[in-house]
């Protein structure tokens, strides 16, 4: 396995929203996907950068930390004074103290991207068993022979469990992918009077303008099981933080509210690679960065299957790391 | 016309929510409606009282004002200390300073009531032209002969315009009913873990528990034209005030959000009574108390049509009061 720079940004940094593209020297995130379908997600791609707004008093220290962090990863990041920030994004609260502009970042409509990938896969010959939940791994001795669906079995030479937080509900998978859902509530706003070019960040919320004129605001991180309902407290947090960041949003119409479930792992790192069962790979646990890490994840899985080697070191993401922990725990149990 | 006590609570007092029943000595609000249909709204009637929570420091003065006001109208109102208030309603914020219990107040599901009234009217022989908006008054000299619908005319001996804020859009009606829509945003929450028996009030929000387990939170007052969309700012206000009043609501699921349009009049008083056109009556402008004032409104209109006299003085609500003002305004125009 070749050793390269860690392709995964540290989890503390890879915040929500599917809109942080990798910088130079990184595997390019979106350009890595060849979209052969007609549902081209690129019309929903916005390579317009991100503006992170700082409201605290000690912005000097905060600014240099953020910038050093990004430069250390080879990513462009530029400090801005309050006036310059509002020049870039007039929707910003006048009380902004400073900002960081990250010109290389992009956003993509996750729904459009998912539809495009699905269509591209089908055009490449993938068979889709839609509405057929995977119930269990189909195990034969120490080999995974495929998957057990509701009323049938699907044989496969390689089985990749990439079912997000639902991976853990597939029989036989929990030891490799002990993920739990981290609920994230979202709101889609429409404010025709408001100009917003870039993704806006604050400590409390992010705002992602879409090409269709919607502004997506999110997101909470809640451990509430497999519950996708929106709550009064979650929405109140998102809406008040959104209005604090861009006060004109108070007049924005609420077009949609929803919640998604991200797969969080015990150490908050992705779970990616082969297991100790032949033919079984895991690709989940990407927490809040699932879409951002799609290209590199797809590439590594493809490399493993085709070449039996991967171009970056993925050992720390191994699905076997939880079984070790489990054995340790057993060993230290009182007699 | 007989002179009785003013059947309309002062507009400043008759706040939102369709849940303030009149006390002794007043025309009973809901018992005045005979419901002959099967869609009995009484299963959605909750005669459990209202608890108004006070959070300010100077609660003593506020308490005595509220109680004097209610007693002056012949309505029961009882001061409560913080502990007693939380005994009655454990969902209340611990920081409540004092409260007023109004045991005679009731709430009713406005949708159920509307359906029940419509069904009762049909069973009594009323003909319903559903989906047929009234376009204009059908005028013949100084007489109203009925209404002009989209593609037909409906003749009537008496025509009563009771179309809420839309009354103003019916041709010929604006001079009598210069109402404008006052938008009120609402949220329906569900918190199975939360016990709430009574209607809860604060300065910023009201919470109405329904018999189906929902808690309806409202409402804003916005002048935004005929726009029923919910906004980020409106919902943020309602949700944050609801959570402040009953912190457990943070966990409540948002089941529905909507906005309604109340008919507000230039002096915020109802517009009720005959016009200077024979056969034309107006019944609108009830602002935030439309449902509360339904029984007395229906009674007065019925009395006028059947007996040509009404049992309470309704002169100050006359639809002719705006024409007088208009003439005055013309007189004071600069030459």
Is residue B187 within 8 angstroms of chain A, CB to CB?
A: yes
Q: Write b or e for each residue in B121-139: b if 16 or more Cβ atoms lie within 10 A of its Cβ, otherwise e.
A: eeeeeeeeeeeeebbebbb
Cis peptide before A219 (omega within 30 of 0): yes
Average the pLDDT over A43-55 and give the result.
92
A285 and A157 both lie in a single domain: yes
Q: What is the pLDDT of residue A324?
A: 61
Give the range of the structural domain holding residue B250, as residue numbers without chain letter. Answer: 183-258
**A41 has pLDDT over 80:** no
Is residue A62 in some structural domain?
A: no
pLDDT value, residue B43: 72
**3-class DSSP string for B200-251:** EECCCCEEEECCCCEEEEECCCECCCCCCCCEHHHHHHHHHHHHHHCHHHHH
Last residue of a domain, one of A263, A290, A311: A263
CATH number of the domain that residue B321 is part of:
3.50.50.60
Residue A236 placed within a domain: yes
Coil, strand, or helix at residue A59?
Answer: helix
What's the CA gap between B141 and B139, in Å, rounded?
6
Q: Mind telling me how many Å the CA of A212 is from chain B's nearest CA?
A: 18
Statement to judge: residues A24 and A169 lie in one domain? yes
pLDDT digits 0-9 by tens, B98-141? 999 999 999 999 999 999 888 988 999 999 888 888 999 999 99
Q: Which of B238, B258, B278 is the C-terminal boundary of a domain?
A: B258
Q: Do A230 and B253 touch (CB under 8 A)?
A: yes
- Could you give phi then psi for residue A89, rounded to 5 degrees? -135, 90
Residue B305 counted as domain residue? yes
Res. A325 pLDDT band, cuts 50 70 90: low
At residue B40 the predicted structure's pLDDT band, cuts being 50, 70 and 90, is low
| Residues contacting B134, CB < 8 A, separation 6+ | B147, B148, B149, B161, B163, B170
Q: Which is nearest to B62 in space by CA: B97, B90, B22, B88?
A: B97
Q: Do residues B189 and B167 both lie within one domain?
A: no
A235 chain-B contacts, CB cut-off 8 A: 235, 239, 254
| Range from B16-25, B75-84, B181-190, B285-294 carrying the lowest mean pLDDT | B16-25
On the question of pLDDT at B16 being above 60, the answer is no
Q: Are residues A269 and A245 in the same domain?
A: no
The tens digit of pLDDT for each residue in A121-160 reads 899 999 988 888 899 999 999 999 999 998 899 999 999 9
Q: With contacts defined as CB-CB under 8 Å, which chain B residues touch A249?
A: 232-233
Residue A3 located in a structural domain: no
Contact B235 A230 (CB under 8 A): no
Cis bond before residue B219 (omega within 30° of 0): yes
Q: Quick check: A233 contacting B, CB < 8 Å? A: yes
CB A111 within 8 A of CB A256: no
* Inter-chain CB proximity A231 and B250 less than 8 Å: yes
How many domains is chain A built from?
2
pLDDT band, residue B46 (cuts 50/70/90): very high
B234 and B250 in contact (C-beta within 8 Å)? Answer: no
Closest Cα of chain A to B197: distance in Å? 20
Interface predicted TM-score (ipTM): 0.80
Q: What is the pLDDT of residue B41?
A: 63
What pLDDT, on a 0 to 100 scale, did the predictor assign at position A40?
62
Higher pLDDT, B132 or A328: B132
So what's the pLDDT on residue A59? Answer: 84
* Structure-token match 């919902």, residue found: B235
Residue with the larger pLDDT of the pair A18 and A319:
A319
| Alpha carbon distance B294, B162 (integer Å) | 11
Judgement on whether residues B142 and B242 belong to the same structural domain of the protein: no
The CB density around residue B157, as the number of other CB atoms within 10 Å, is 11
Q: Are residues B165 and B275 in the same domain?
A: yes
Query: In chain B, what residues touch A230 (CB-CB under 8 Å)?
Result: 253-254
Which residues in B lie closer than 8 A to residue A228 (C-beta atoms)?
Answer: none
pLDDT digits (tens, 9 = 90+) for B144-164: 999 999 889 999 999 999 999
Q: In this structure, what DSSP letter does residue B171 have?
A: B
Q: How far is CA B175 from CA A249, B275, B284, B317, B319, in A?
A: 37, 10, 13, 14, 8
Nearest to A250 among B231, B240, B254 (CB): B231
**pLDDT tens, position by position, A273-318:** 999 999 999 999 999 999 999 999 999 999 999 999 999 999 999 9
Closest-CA residue in chain A for B215? A232
Q: Do B253 and A233 touch (CB under 8 A)?
A: no
Q: Would the CB atoms of B252 and A235 count as touching at under 8 Å?
A: no
What's the whole-number mean pLDDT along residues A41-48?
82
Burial of B254 (0-12, 13-18, 19+ CB in 10 A): buried
Residue B176 contacts residue B319 (beta carbons within 8 Å): yes
Query: What is the separation, in whole angstroms, between the first and last Cα of chain A?
Result: 42
Q: List pLDDT tens digits, range B232-241.
A: 999 999 999 9
> Has residue A277 been placed in a domain?
yes
Closest to A177 in 3D by CA, of A262, A285, A291, A267: A285
Distance from the Cα of B233 to chain A's closest Cα (Å) equals 4
Q: Are residues B187 and B326 in the same domain?
A: no
> Would an 8 Å CB–CB cutoff place B233 in contact with chain A?
yes
Which residues in chain A are contacts of B236 at CB distance < 8 A?
236, 239-240, 243, 250
**Secondary structure tally for chain B: helices H, strands E:** 6, 16
Which residue on chain B is closest to A247 by alpha carbon? B233
Determine, for residues A250 and B257 on separate chains, whether the beta-carbon distance falls below 8 Å. no
A5 has a pLDDT exceeding 60: no
Residues A118, A34 share a domain: yes
Residue A241 to chain B, least CA–CA distance (Å): 10
**CB nearest to A242's CB, from B232, B250, B253:** B232
**Residue A44: its pLDDT value, please?**
83
> How high is the pLDDT of residue B39?
53
Q: Is the pLDDT of residue A71 over 70?
A: yes
Supply the CATH number for residue B239's domain: 3.30.9.10
Give CA–CA dist A170/A148, Å, rounded: 9
Same domain, A251 and A231: yes
What are the tens digits of pLDDT across the range B51-64? 999 998 788 888 98
Half-sphere exposure of B157 (CA within 13 A, CB side): 2
Whether residue B202 lies inside any domain: the answer is: yes
| Min Cα–Cα distance to chain B from A211, Å | 20
A250 at interface of B, judged by CB pairs closer than 8 A: yes
Report the share of chain B in percent with pLDDT over 70.
84
| Helix (H), strand (E) at residue A271 | strand A271-274
A315 touches chain B (CB under 8 A): no
Residues A94-98: contacts with CB under 8 Å, at least 24 apart: A95/A55, A96/A53, A96/A54, A96/A55, A97/A54, A97/A55, A97/A56, A97/A57, A97/A59, A98/A54, A98/A59, A98/A60, A98/A62, A98/A63
Average pLDDT, chain A: 86
What residues in B contact A217, CB-CB < 8 Å?
A: 232
Per the listing, tokens 């309309």 go with B8
**Together in a domain, B272 and B173:** yes
Q: pLDDT at position B12, please?
A: 34
Residue with tokens 């069962």: A277
The yes-or-no verdict on residue B32 having pLDDT over 80 is no
Which of B258, B284, B302 is at the close of a domain?
B258
Is B92 contained in some domain?
Answer: no
Q: Are residues B191 and B249 in the same domain?
A: yes
**pLDDT of amino acid A130:** 83
Element (H, E) at B253: strand B253-264
Distance from CA of B240 to the nearest CA of A (A): 6
**Above 90 in pLDDT, residue B173?**
yes
Q: Are B276 and B171 in contact (CB under 8 A)?
A: no
- Mutation site for A-interface testing, chosen from B204, B215, B232, B249 by largest number of A Cβ within 10 Å: B232
Whether residues A209 and A233 fall in one domain: yes
Residues of A in contact with B217 (CB under 8 A): 232
A206, part of any domain? yes
Say yes or no: A240 contacts chain B, CB-CB below 8 A: yes
Q: Is the pLDDT of residue B246 over 50?
A: yes
In sequence order, what DSSP letters do the residues of A82-100 get, joined into one string? HHHHHHH-TTS-TT--EEE
Provide, as residue numbers in chain B, all residues whose Cβ is less than 8 Å from the Cβ of A239: 232-233, 235-236, 239
């Amino acid at each position: 396995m070749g050793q390269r720079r860690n392709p995964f940004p540290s989890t503390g940094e890879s915040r929500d929203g599917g809109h942080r593209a990798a910088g130079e020297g990184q595997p390019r995130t979106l350009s890595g996907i060849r979209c052969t379908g007609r549902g081209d997600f690129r019309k929903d791609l916005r390579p317009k950068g991100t503006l992170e707004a700082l409201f605290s008093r000690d912005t000097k220290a905060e600014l240099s930390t953020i910038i050093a962090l990004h430069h250390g990863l080879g990513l462009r990041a530029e400090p801005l004074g309050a006036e310059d920030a509002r020049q870039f994004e007039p929707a910003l609260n006048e009380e902004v103290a400073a900002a960081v502009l990250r010109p290389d970042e992009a956003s993509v409509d996750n729904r459009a991207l998912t539809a495009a990938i699905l269509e591209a896969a089908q055009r490449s010959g993938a068979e889709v068993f839609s509405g057929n939940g995977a119930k269990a791994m189909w195990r034969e001795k120490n080999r995974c022979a495929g998957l057990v669906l509701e009323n049938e079995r699907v044989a496969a030479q390689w089985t990749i469990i990439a079912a997000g937080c639902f991976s853990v509900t597939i029989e036989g998978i929990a030891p490799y992918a002990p993920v739990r859902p981290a609920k994230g509530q979202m709101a889609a706003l429409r404010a025709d009077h408001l100009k917003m070019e870039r993704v806006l960040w604050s400590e409390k919320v992010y705002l992602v303008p879409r090409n269709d004129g919607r502004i997506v605001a999110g997101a909470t991180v809640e451990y509430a099981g497999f519950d996708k309902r929106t709550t009064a407290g979650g929405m109140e947090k998102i809406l008040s933080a959104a209005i604090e960041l861009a006060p004109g949003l108070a007049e924005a119409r609420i077009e949609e509210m929803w919640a998604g479930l991200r797969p969080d792992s015990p150490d908050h790192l992705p779970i990616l690679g082969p297991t100790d069962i032949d033919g079984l790979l895991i690709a989940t646990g990407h927490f809040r960065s699932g879409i951002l890490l799609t290209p590199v994840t797809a590439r590594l899985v493809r490399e493993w299957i085709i070449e039996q080697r991967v171009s970056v070191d993925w050992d720390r993401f191994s699905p076997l790391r939880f079984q070790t922990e489990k054995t340790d725990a057993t060993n230290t149990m009182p007699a």
